[in-house]
Structure 1
Amino acid sequence: MRVAHHGPLDVLVLGGAGVDTIVDVPQLPLPYADSYPVPAITTRAGHTGDNVTLGLHALGLRTHLLDVLGEDPEGALVRDLHHRSGSRFTALATAAGTKRAVNLVGPDGRRLSLYDVSRGGEHDRFPEALLAELADGCRHVHVCITHPGAYALEQLAGLGTTVSTDLHDWDGHNPYHAQFAAAADVVFLSATALADPEAVMRGVLGLGRAHTVVATDGARGGYLLTRADGGVRRFAAVTPPRPVRDSNGAGDAFAAGFLFGLLDGRDPDECARLGAIAGAHACTVAATEVDPIDRDALLARGTTF
């Protein structure tokens, strides 16, 4: 299979295409009850790979998302999302169906995601020739931890491109996530499930490849560790420019902002600042929408931060 694309890519994103069903709930955690009246329940496209791709696309980078999708209504929503945005997307058919999740969103914007592990092509593979074609001349590859991303790690090692990944709420021990950390130059993760974020971040550097590790920590900002500096330092959160709607996609927006800065030759601290600005913007966008910050707005806020 050959894919039409116009010249080398800035970023190839592997995996992470899917659909969320959004349910606004009166509180989190949600106490047991037989039923709750809730506002309109909405299903929309936009999982981590979609969000990172669209975020980078909005920032002016040449992107391409490669993943598996089912021939189902959910898959049609994902295809339409990328068609409307103008971002390049190659969807390979999978019998497992399109990846899905149900997101419960509280009044303060916090989210609880229920991920359907029965979908998403656990036994699928990206064709080696297609992956090599898309990665040829590509500046960077971002690998999502959903299947079939894990099967691409070994092949990427031989292609000579830099790699990033997002481990999301990794506990610091799960070996499935650790294989991504060991194969990436830049590793993002959430501090949510970590008793000692600094120790986990140093452990990622200890795996040998990563030169930068970032642990986001919501309204508390986050942690940054680079191999060059050797010390974990905190970075501040950014006050959202409008009222917070919910946190869906905030971590993906952070990754897009950070990678934009990295590929623009900026230092890690400035990259973290750009990521925080993009993440704050995402918190002001309703979960039913995908509306990433654009390049002009990001850079304008970056100069006044």
Structure 2
Amino acid sequence: MTDLDVLVVGPTSENLIVALDRLPRPEPHTVVAESSTTVLGGTSAGKALHLADQGVAAALLTTQGDDATGESLVAVLRACGVDVRAVRTSGPSERHLNLMSARGERVSIYLHAAAEVDDEEMRRARATAREALAHARAVFLDLADLSRALIPEVTALAREVWVDVHDYDGAEAYHRPFIEAADVVLMNGDRMTNPSVYLRGLVEGGKRLAVCTLGSRGAIAVGSDGSFARVEAPRVDVVDPNGAGDAFAAGVMAHALNLGGAASLTGDALWEALEAGSAQAVRALGSRQLSPLLEQAPPVS
């Protein structure tokens, strides 16, 4: 692989994880947490970590608040082998409260959203993206205002554009520029009525690959030639489900890079890519953090 295989653009956060027996009912009452811990979070941080875990040279372009938390998050990622290229914002770093049930259900509450990037930092972000895209074999855009602002550079320069639209319902306007820019679309089926039909429509419209994770029902994908593949969810003792979707996406992407790109994922190769994604998801499910790489890194402070 080249010195830079993938540029990942999107969020990094500090997450307060609160484990509950079940998610709270929508009425006033008191619950007792089973545990709570503060960890590194963010969908783009998760993808970059799991790409690095597979030996893929990943750079992460992400926002960083002007507080000690931001410095700590960047230091932890760099200690795990991720080339972080931080875009500075005024105010606190992005911070979430994740309520987790014993069944793996999650409610994510934004305590602090990432602040807006000012004009000077955005100019620097564009320059950083242009420099990285001159070398990277692919770019992964996650849903974030920073990523959305960089779509013109990405569509003009990237060799292959991957996007993760998460629980997209097929209609929300915010997601559309990401889908239009993409060569590869990944999503989950939480709010999609008929994901297989939607995936086929994406490929018929010119996408090289479309993938949907289905939680306990596994994952499905449609390749560039219209071939269809499905894998069952892996059987594993789940330690923490946070980051499993990002690990899955990183596993699929790494397999595609090894074969020359997403267009190569047809027939058996498409099924093998989903298997590779599932294997990487197991790495996340068996770790108490986004990635097992973080277990050897200094804690977020």
Which TM-score band (shorter chain)? 0.7 to 0.9
Alignment-mate amino acid for residue 32 of structure 1: E
Matched, 1:48 2:43: yes
1:21 alignment counterpart: 16
Corresponding position: 1:237 with 2:233 = yes
Which one of the candidate residues 53, 66, 69 is aligned to 1:71? 66
Report the equivalent of 1:273: 275
1:200 is the counterpart of 2:195? no
TM-score, normalised to structure 2, is: 0.86
With 18-27 and 278-287 compared, the bigger mean Cα shift is at 278-287
Q: Give the CA deviation at 1:123.
A: 6.3
Unaligned runs of 5+ in 2: 260-264, 295-301
Code of the residue aligned with 2:240 in structure 1: it is D
Once the two structures are TM-superposed, the CA of residue 18 in structure 1 deviates from its matched residue by 1.4
**Residue deviations 1:50-109, cap 9 Å, x none?**
111010111111111011110123313311221321221011211254222211111122
Q: Within 2, Cα distance between the matches of 1:58 and 1:231?
A: 29
Q: Please list, as runs of the form range in 1=range in 2, the aligned pairs for 1:256-267 lying within 5 A after superposition.
A: 256-265=250-259, 267=269
Alignment of 1:1-305 (within 5 A): 8-28=3-23, 30=25, 32-95=27-90, 97-116=92-111, 118-121=113-116, 125=122, 127-208=125-206, 210-228=207-225, 230-240=226-236, 243-265=237-259, 267-287=269-289, 290-291=291-292
Output the CA distance in 2 between the equivalents of 1:10 and 1:203: 29
Q: Is the CA contact 2:19–2:100 (under 8 Å) kept in the aligned structure 1?
A: yes
Matching residue's letter, 1:50? A
- For residues 195 and 271 of structure 1, the distance between their equivalents in structure 2, rounded to whole angstroms, comes to 24
Structure number with higher helix proportion: 2
**Cα gap change, 1:104 to 1:179, in 2 (>3 Å):** same
Structure 1 CA distance, aligned partners of 2:91 and 2:151?
A: 21
TM-score normalised to the size of structure 1?
Answer: 0.85
Provide the identity percentage. 29
Residue 234 of structure 1 and its aligned partner are, at CA, apart by 2.4
CA contact (8 A) 1:244 1:284 kept: yes
Measured in 2, the distance between the counterparts of 1:182 and 1:108 equals: 35
- The structural deviation recorded for 1:224 is 0.6
2:212 aligned partner, one-letter code: A
Q: Alpha-carbon deviation of 1:32?
A: 3.1
Q: Is contact 1:20-1:102 (8 Å) kept? A: yes
> Cα gap change, 1:220/1:166 in structure 2, threshold over 3 Å: closer, same or farther?
same
Cα distance change on mapping 1:43 and 1:121 into 2, 3 Å? farther
Partner Cα separation in structure 2 for residue 96 and residue 190 of structure 1: 32
Q: Distance in 2 between matches of 1:222 and 1:268?
A: 12
Q: Is the 8 A contact 1:8 1:136 kept in 2?
A: no
Instruction: Write the distance in 1 (CA, Å) between the matches of 2:82 and 2:69.
Output: 18
State the distance in 2 between where 1:270 and 1:72 align: 43
How many pairs are equivalent?
Answer: 282
- Runs (4+) of structure 1 moved beyond 4 Å? none
Q: Please tell me the residue identity of whatever aligns with 2:282.
A: A
Superposed displacement of residue 206, structure 1 = 5.0
Shift of 1:160: 4.0
- Distance in 2, Cα, partners of 1:40 & 1:121: 33
Closer, same or farther: CA 55–139 of 1 in aligned 2, 3 Å: same
Question: 1:151-175 CA distances to partner (integer Å, 9 max, x unpaired)?
Answer: 1111111114211011111111112
- Give, in whole Å, the separation in 1 of the partners of 2:251 and 2:183: 16
The Cα of 1:113 is off from its aligned counterpart by 1.7
Query: Cα offset for 1:183?
Result: 0.8
